[in-house]
Amino acid sequence: MAETHSLQDLQQPAVSSKVFVQRDYGSGTTCRFQTKFPSELDSRLDKQQFEETIQTLNNLYAEAEKLGGKSYLEGCLACLTAYTIFLCMETHYEKMLKKIARFIKDQNEKIYAPRGLLLTDPIERGLRVVEITIFEDRSVGSGR
Amino acid sequence: MSNFYSKSSTQIRVYLRVKVERAHQVATGERAEGFRSCVCDVACRRPHAPTVRTPTSRLIMKKCEYQQIDPRALPTPTPPHHRGDDDGGGGGKSDELKRPRRKWEVFPGKNRFYCGGRIIVARQSGVLPLTLGLILVTSGLFFMFDCPFLVKHLTSCIPVVGGVLFVFVVITLLQTSFTDPGILPRATPDEAADIEKQIDNTGNASYRPPPRTKEVLINQQVVKLKYCFTCKMFRPPRTSHCSLCDNCVERFDHHCPWVGNCVGKRNYRFFYTFIVSLSFLTAFIFGCVTTHLALIELVICFFSVWSILGLSGFHTYLVASNLTTNEDIKGSWSGKSGEDVTNPYSHKNIFINCCYVLCGPLPPSLIDRRGFLPADESAQTSGADIEGKPQTAHTCPDNNSPAVNSDPSPELSMSCGARRAASPQGDGSPSHHTKTRWKKSKRAALHVPNPAFDVPVSPTSPDAASFAPSQ
């Protein structure tokens, strides 16, 4: 039976466990997450799907922290105005974070919610981890 | 601050109402005399024997009893006249429980918040008032006395240049002081449990393991990440825990008492701009004043110029090599130990390093001060708040020290949050001691590491040190 699983439906069943995808510091302090597939998700999710999600997230964060002409221009302009421009302007990083939030919402609706999983935006965890909540199977089973 | 005051007056009203209510209940026989009624009725967390629950008392009951009530089993609806009675107290309390709380109100670190969480400062403002005072007084004297003389004899550009520099200095000083330096929010209980599980899996479970570290390879350099016992997470690289603010700060540089805040990833550029523009300003005023010979300004500027110029030079070196004061002091990348170590974060190019540190993208604050707490957490913490508030009026200073010195629970820290700034307990003597030390050593010693203010964590000791300001 085709059924759209809204997040409200999924929050009714109990949380079975949470998986934390840690940061990957191999290339310094830039925001990257490990693409290693957690074993707890074996039964629920494709490895490839997971890696694709994490890789896209990493790319989005890399773009937010990219050093390029645009970011330097923004920085120089801010410096000249004694950084008061930050009070009225949204920075490139903030725009990218909104884009990331939309991406995660989209991924949740299309891929993770139908499998009884929920991705939490890393910004809500201080960019330390990607938290994946695994819900109990019974509600998903009854829905399918 | 106004939030705090309105809450405490509400709590006092609730407290008094409870006392009156209980007396009435004893008089009418609803409650047996001799029932243990605490003075801290509303604040006490101990479960009391259940009483006859009138709608009135139900509304203003303390948190533990309130939780025992099953809302679905309420026998009668609340009579309207009781509701009317309680609008001042009970209505206020139910509003309190429903009011969504912002995250800054329950922030576990030792920070103070103003303007609804928009402005964040360290608990001790250090000598920020002195810094501001010195700048304002010196500049004020300059503009009032020297400028007219110099405009007459030289050029009218002088007050313009002086004015621009002065505005720059004040704005960047305030930004350094009031901006989140890059505080990392503490790990959620689930995260902490997950990390503990991983540590137990890899280590020996029969004894307490040594200070926990994790090694990562960053650009072919081995970097040790330390576990923070306060924040319950492995600190990211270049992050350090400031004991004065009780927070982990990203790219921690140092805790600066002159600006009354930590200097970290998010406010380093403001700090750098502040000291550079201040050195220009002091040099400018010094230069102008030597022509006019005003003694006070001369003395202040003479001492300031050398120390501020020295500090600016030091930080310019740090910026060019993408180092922090913390790393420079510890000699993390200087190769002291004989190994071939280089700074893995440097871009190997002075110009790129400068651009990255000063003009790179500014990450937003991770602590989301003005965000709202989720409804269930909000209800719990507001209940604890109502318990805690009447206590804080009398007992917070006593409770504060043990709360601060042990692992601070969010409830206690939140309930004492606004007060903690004023409470002299726990930090009184060390802050006075270090303040005296700083005033004696003057600005010339600013760049010299003071163990009281710099990174308190030694390489070997666990983060119990984070609770004591000085090693």
Which pLDDT tens digit goes with each residue over B188-238? 888 888 888 877 766 554 455 556 888 888 888 888 888 898 888 889 999
Are B195 and A106 spatial neighbours (Cβ–Cβ below 8 Å)? no
| Dihedral pair phi/psi, residue B259, rounded to 5° | -105, -5
* Residue-averaged pLDDT of chain B: 69
For the record, the structure tokens of B199 come out as 């540590």
Beta carbons of B456 and B430 less than 8 angstroms apart? no
pLDDT bracket for residue B177 (50, 70, 90): very high
Q: What is the pLDDT of residues A40-66, one digit of tens each?
A: 888 888 899 999 999 999 999 999 988
Q: What residues have CB less than 8 Å from B378, skipping those under 6 apart?
A: B99, B100, B101, B372
Backbone dihedral angles phi then psi of residue B7, each to the nearest 5 degrees: -65, -45
Would the CB atoms of B355 and A128 count as touching at under 8 Å? no
Give the angle B42-B44-B49 at the CA atoms, nearest 5°. 90
Determine which of A79, A97, A123, A130 to mutate to test the interface with B (most B C-beta atoms within 10 Å).
A79
Contacting residues of A for B167, CB less than 8 Å apart: 82
Q: Measured between CB atoms, which of B185, B219, B270 is closest to A126?
A: B185
CA separation for the pair B132, B437 (Å, rounded):
19
Instruction: Give A76 or B374, the one with higher predicted confidence.
Output: A76
Tell me the pLDDT band of B436, cut-offs 50, 70 and 90.
Answer: very low
Beta-bridge partners for A133: A18, A118
> Whole-angstrom Cα distance, residue B456 to residue B331?
15
Cβ pair B319, B177 in contact under 8 A: no
Bigger pLDDT: B8 or B145?
Answer: B145
B260: alpha, beta or left? (left if phi > 0; alpha if psi -120 to 50): left
For residue B188, give the nearest of A26, A123, A125 by CB distance: A125
Comparing CB atoms, the residue among B185, B250, B360 nearest residue A67 is B360
Residue of B390, B420, B406, B417 lying closest to B467 (CA atoms): B406
Hey, are the CB atoms on A65 and B363 less than 8 Å from each other?
yes
By Cβ distance, the residue of A29, A72, A124 closest to B359 is A72
Residue range B318-358, pLDDT digits in tens? 999 998 998 888 887 776 655 667 788 888 888 888 888 88
- 3-state SS track over chain A: CCCCCCHHHHHCCCEEEEEEEEECCCCCCCCCECCCCCHHHCCCCCHHHHHHHHHHHHHHHHHHCCCCHHHHHHHHHHHHCCCCHHHHCCCHHHHHHHHHHHHHHHHHHHHHHHHCEEEECHHHHCCCEEEEEEECHHHHHHHC
The answer to whether B191 and B232 are in contact (CB under 8 A) is yes
- Considering CB atoms only, which of A78, A93, A129 is closest to B191? A129
Q: What distance in Å separates the CA atoms of residue A17 and residue A37, rounded to the nearest whole number?
A: 16
Residue with tokens 């990392």: B184
Closest CA to B357 of B341, B340, B343, B336: B343
State the Cα–Cα distance between residues B251 and B435, nearest whole angstrom: 25
Q: Which two tokens stand for residue A67?
A: 């050093």
Q: Residue B449: its pLDDT value, please?
A: 43
Cβ count near A101 (within 10 Å): 13
Q: Cβ contact (<8 Å) for A79 and B251?
A: no
Range A98-120 average pLDDT:
92
The predicted structure's pLDDT at residue A107: 92
Please, how many CA atoms are within 13 Å of residue B155, restricted to the half-sphere of its CB?
Answer: 5
The residue ranking higher by pLDDT, B304 or B375, is B304
| Residue A42: per-residue pLDDT | 85
Across the interface, whether the CB atoms of A83 and B175 are under 8 A apart is answered yes
Region B25-53: mean pLDDT is 49
How much of chain B, in percent, has pLDDT values that exceed 70? 54
Q: Is the dihedral of CA B93, B98, B103, B104 positive or negative?
A: negative
pLDDT at position B358: 87
Give the Cα separation of A55 and B409 in Å (integer): 37
Give the Cα-Cα-Cα angle B256, B257, B262 (nearest 5 degrees).
Answer: 40
Please tell me the predicted confidence (pLDDT) of residue B368.
77
What pLDDT is attached to residue A62? 92
Catalytic choice (B147, B228, B231, B256): B256
pLDDT at residue A20 greater than cutoff 60: yes
pLDDT band at B107 (very low <50, low <70, confident <90, very high): confident
**Inter-chain touch B191–A65, beta carbons under 8 Å:** no
Q: How far is CA B183 from CA A115, B29, B219, B300, B353, in A?
A: 35, 55, 25, 34, 23
Chain B environment of A124 (Cβ under 8 Å): 368
pTM of the model: 0.67
Check residue B116 and give its pLDDT. 83
- Which of A20, A33, A97, A118 to probe by mutation at the B interface, max B CB count within 10 Å? A20
Higher pLDDT, B415 or B271: B271
Buried b (16+ CB within 10 A) or exposed e, B259-281: bbbbbbbbbbbbbbbbbbbbbbb
State the Cα–Cα distance between residues B55 and B61, nearest whole angstrom: 10
Q: Three-state SS string across chain B, please? A: CHHHHHHHHHHHHHHHHHHHHHHHHHHHCCCCCCCCCCCCCCCCCCCCCCCCCCHHHHHCCCHHHHHHCCHHHCCCCCCHHHHHHHCCCHHHHHHHHHCCCEHHHHCCCCEEEECCCCEEEECCCCCHHHHHHHHHHHHHHHHHHHHHHHHHHCCCHHHHHHHHHHHHHHHHHHHHHHCCCCEECCCCHHHHHHHHHHHHHHCCCCCCCCCCEEEEEECCEEEEEEEECCCCEECCCCCEEECCCCEEECCCCEEECCCCEEECCCCHHHHHHHHHHHHHHHHHHHHHHHHHCCHHHHHHHHHHHHHHHHHHHHHHHHHHCCCCHHHHHHCCCCCCCCCCCCCCCCCCCHHHHHHHHHHCCCCCCCCCCCCECCHHHHHHHHHHHHHHHHHHHHCHHHHHHHHHHCCCCHHHHHHCHHHHCCCCCCCHHHHHHHHHHHHHHCHHHCCCCCCCCCCCCCCCCCHHHHHCCCC
Q: What is the pLDDT of residues B351-409, one digit of tens each?
A: 888 888 888 888 888 887 777 777 665 555 544 444 434 433 344 344 433 333 333 34
Q: Is B256 a catalytic residue?
A: yes
Query: Per-domain residue ranges for chain B?
Result: 103-184+253-332+345-374, 186-235
For B75-101, how does the pLDDT look when each residue is reduced to its tens digit (9 = 90+)?
A: 555 444 444 444 444 444 455 556 777
Using CA atoms, how far apart are residues B58 and B76, in angstroms rounded to an integer? 12
Asked if B42 and B70 touch (Cβ cutoff 8 Å), the reply is: no
Contact A104, A119 (CB under 8 A): yes
pLDDT at B399: 40
What pLDDT was estimated at residue B263?
94
Residue B2 has pLDDT above 60, yes or no: no
List residues in chain B touching A: CB distance below 8 A.
167-168, 171-172, 175, 184-185, 187-188, 190-191, 194, 216-219, 223, 225, 233, 236-238, 250-251, 269-270, 273, 344-345, 352, 355-356, 358-364, 366-368
Q: How far A124 CA lies from chain B's nearest CA (Å)? A: 8
Distance, in Å, from the CA atom of B379 to the CA atom of B11, rounded to the nearest integer, reads 16
**Residues of B whose CB is below 8 A from A66:** 361
Nearest CA in chain A to B357: A75
- Residues in a beta bridge with B241: B248
Q: Is the C-alpha dihedral spanning B380, B381, B383, B384 positive or negative? A: positive
How much is the pLDDT for B249? 93
Lowest model confidence (mean pLDDT) among A65-79, B9-23, B411-425: B411-425
pLDDT at B174: 92
